[in-house]
A and B are shown apart, each in its own frame.
Chain A
Amino acid sequence: MSTLQITDLRASVAGKQILHGVNLTISSGEVHVVMGPNGAGKSTLSAVVMGKPGYEVLGGSVTLDGVDMLALPAWQRAQAGLHLVMQYPSEVPGVSLDHVMEQALIARGRSTDGLDELLETEAARIGFAPELLHRALNVDLSGGEKKRNETLQLAVLQPRIAILDELDSGLDIDALRDCARRVEALTNDDGPQGQRLGALVITHYNRLLEALRADVIHILVKGRIVATGGPELADQLERDGYAAYAIADEPEAEAPGSLDDLFAI
């Protein structure tokens, strides 16, 4: 059993504070969904937890099974068992998907025996054209193919906890169903590491939840979790929108590095 614990996480980007104290606990086999309006900090949350450069952590902690993730570079967080399914996966010219998966397994000290068969099985399972396994990552891929590619990598690498950043954006209904079902299966079945996937699913919309069963719904507004509940919370949001959670504007804490700080020195 693995647990990702996010405690009072505060972070800024380009000197502007986006996360104002986020608390979340996700364990193996659980699906937590974070929903929120544009600008709530959803993508910042995923980037900060994974360790993307360009974000500054102002306070709080992120641990995976007690190990401090914030002290590690992104590649070591991934090796510790964290994974990020990206909203906009980068094109990497000349670097093929199968080669990257091979290197990713080698870097983890795992065997690459049977990798080709595994890639083909996983590709078939989510409707990813097998010839794309040998092509450069995301180059000339459609939006749907990119998300199937992301889902395939998740299934091959078998992390402990995955963050899915708007897996549903730009997906047609077939691709969405294929990807969501694959993630759902990973959260239900014991993987080769002997445990089920825990998922932190970041989304705008309900339709992902038709194929991916959510255990807990969190609503993120202005960098804070303002409500937590069961799947019924998503239905309520669908009906009423975010208006009920529009909290009054508070004066935001001044971000370090702002001009005011500079002049105060």
Chain B
Amino acid sequence: MPAFSPDAVRASAPPDLDRRIAAAERAAAATFPSAEEEVWRYSRIGELDLSAFIPGRAITTVDAPEGVHVVQGAELGDRADDADAVDLFHELNRAFMDAVVVSVPRGRAIEQPVVITHRLDAAGVAVFPRLIIDAAEDSEITVVEQFVSPDGLVALCVPRLEVDVAAAGRLKYLGVNMLGSSTWHLAHQQAFGARDSNTLLATVALGGDYARVRTEARVTGQGASTRQIALYYADAHQMHDFRTLQDHAAPKTHSDLLFKGAVQDHAKSVYTGLIKIRHDAKGSQAFQTNRNLTLSSGAWAESVPNLDIETNDVKCSHASTVGPIDEEQRFYLESRGIPPEIAERLVVLGFFDEVLEQLPVGPLAAQLRELVSAKLQRKSS
């Protein structure tokens, strides 16, 4: 794939050139992933033909309130090389990334959200946004990252998110996939929470052709807490694929996960989640809930929860369900004279409300609720 070669990196002469060339060399040597590998199980990775794309850039806008430090196109140095879950797409992102670094200083609490929007507008282009969020000690920040492309645009979006929340810091992140129905999305998120920190990683996935989010929250300091939530809703021939990790590496840490999805028409979704409690994470608590609605007989959803616990004295639970709308709920509403399509809309919106009401940005949540409602109406018609 000459389009993604070290020479292609040299030709564009971006900041941090040597490290990018090294990453492109590793990418060139890496084997292409396959659904045979556990981490890509159930995925559509076999359908991806990288040679159909050339590296490009998204149009990225950053809207940041006062008090937040934003750097675009920075030299990241070692900072961008420390990921331990390295794969081909990680290397490609390292080689071709457009970086945005958002940081908030110690002790500062910023009320207004930082809003970052990536727009893809060229067919046949692969883009590699990298977002780094540094929340210093006892700081507070909310970041929204939106991915947008028009319907029918064949493109590939490979974003990476790196989050570092220092002691007693509070971070809320919301990623919104509003990509068009022909755009692929291969996202990877890693968050690290230090002592007594609080991290929320939220995802709303409505768009994309095949859209995968791998989201990993690791608590590394005692008393740290993470929460991962997601709303995903696929229709037509879309597929949403989630890989989640709640990784406890310190005592008395807490993690909670709530992922709720729906599929209709011929859409598919997969949720694969792991709770990992390392042996020095005594006194920790971890909870994981994944619920899926199958709204059409031709739609398919899979849920695979896993636990890996290396110590005693922990409290863990996981719950997962896949199935159609509850018949009793439907009959209850219909017995009030409500037609079936409206009863279904009420039940589905009610199902998603549990996630919507926890999203960090209220006005955006109301807008997303409208998009969910519009998607349901497409099914009814």
A251 interface contact, C-beta 8 A: no
Which residues on B are within 8 Å of A, measured CB to CB? 326-329, 331-340, 342-343, 346-347, 349-354
Q: Is A90 a contact partner of B328 (Cβ separation < 8 A)?
A: yes
Interface-centre pick from B329, B335, B338, B346 (highest chain A CB count, 10 A): B335
Q: Is B342 a contact partner of A74 (Cβ separation < 8 A)?
A: no
Residues of B within 8 A of A136 (CB): 350
Instruction: Please name 25 pairs of A and B residues whose Cβ atoms are closer than 8 Å in the assembled complex, sorted by A.
Output: A52-B331, A53-B327, A74-B331, A74-B334, A75-B337, A75-B338, A75-B340, A78-B336, A78-B338, A83-B335, A91-B329, A92-B350, A93-B350, A94-B351, A95-B347, A95-B349, A99-B346, A100-B338, A103-B342, A104-B337, A107-B338, A107-B339, A107-B342, A157-B336, A157-B337
Q: Is B347 a contact partner of A104 (Cβ separation < 8 A)?
A: no
B335 to chain A, nearest CB (A): 5
Residues of B within 8 A of A51 (CB): 335
In whole angstroms, how far apart are the Cα atoms of A83 and B336 in the complex?
7
Q: Is B333 a contact partner of A95 (Cβ separation < 8 A)?
A: yes
Given the interface contacts A53-B327, A53-B331, does A92 sit within 8 Å of B336 by beta carbon?
A: no
Report which of B326, B329, B335, B350 forms a contact with A78, defined as CB distance below 8 A.
Answer: B335
A43 interface contact, C-beta 8 A: no
A78-B334, A104-B337 known; 15 new pairs, CB 8 Å cut-off, are A53-B331, A73-B340, A75-B334, A75-B340, A78-B336, A86-B335, A90-B328, A93-B354, A94-B351, A94-B352, A95-B350, A99-B346, A104-B338, A107-B337, A153-B336
A84 interface contact, C-beta 8 A: yes
A50 interface contact, C-beta 8 A: yes
Residues of A within 8 A of B351 (CB): 93-94
A96 to chain B, nearest CB (A): 9
Residues of B within 8 A of A90 (CB): 326, 328-329, 331-332
Given the interface contacts A90-B329, A94-B353, does A74 sit within 8 Å of B335 by beta carbon?
A: yes
State the interface size on chain A (CB cutoff 8 A): 31
Residues of A within 8 A of B346 (CB): 92, 95, 99-100, 103
In whole angstroms, how far apart are the Cα atoms of A100 and B346 in the complex?
8
Question: What residue of chain A has the Cβ atom nearest to residue B352's Cβ?
Answer: A94
- Give me the 4 closest cross-chain CB pairs, A-B, nearest first: A94-B350, A78-B337, A94-B353, A95-B350
Question: What residue of chain B has the Cβ atom nearest to residue A138's Cβ?
Answer: B332
Q: Is A79 a contact partner of B350 (Cβ separation < 8 A)?
A: no
Q: Is B349 a contact partner of A100 (Cβ separation < 8 A)?
A: no
A81 to chain B, nearest CB (A): 9
A108 interface contact, C-beta 8 A: yes
Report which of A50, A94, A157 forms a contact with B354, defined as CB distance below 8 A.
Answer: A94
Interface-centre pick from B334, B346, B352 (highest chain A CB count, 10 A): B334
Residues of A within 8 A of B332 (CB): 86, 89-90, 92, 137
Q: Is B353 a contact partner of A75 (Cβ separation < 8 A)?
A: no
In whole angstroms, how far apart are the Cα atoms of A92 and B334 in the complex?
12
Q: Is A104 a contact partner of B336 (Cβ separation < 8 A)?
A: yes
A214 to chain B, nearest CB (A): 24
0/1 interface trace, chain A 81-122, chain B, CB 8 Å (1 if under) = 001101001111111000111011001100000000000000
Q: Is B338 a contact partner of A92 (Cβ separation < 8 A)?
A: no
Question: What residue of chain B has the Cβ atom nearest to residue A85's Cβ?
Answer: B335
A145 to chain B, nearest CB (A): 16
Interface-centre pick from A84, A94, A100 (highest chain B CB count, 10 A): A94
In whole angstroms, how far apart are the Cα atoms of A93 and B329 in the complex?
9
In whole angstroms, how far apart are the Cα atoms of A54 and B330 in the complex?
13
Residues of B within 8 A of A78 (CB): 334-338
In whole angstroms, how far apart are the Cα atoms of A84 and B334 in the complex?
11
Q: Which of A139-177 contact B (CB under 8 A)?
A: 153, 157
Residues of B within 8 A of A157 (CB): 336-337
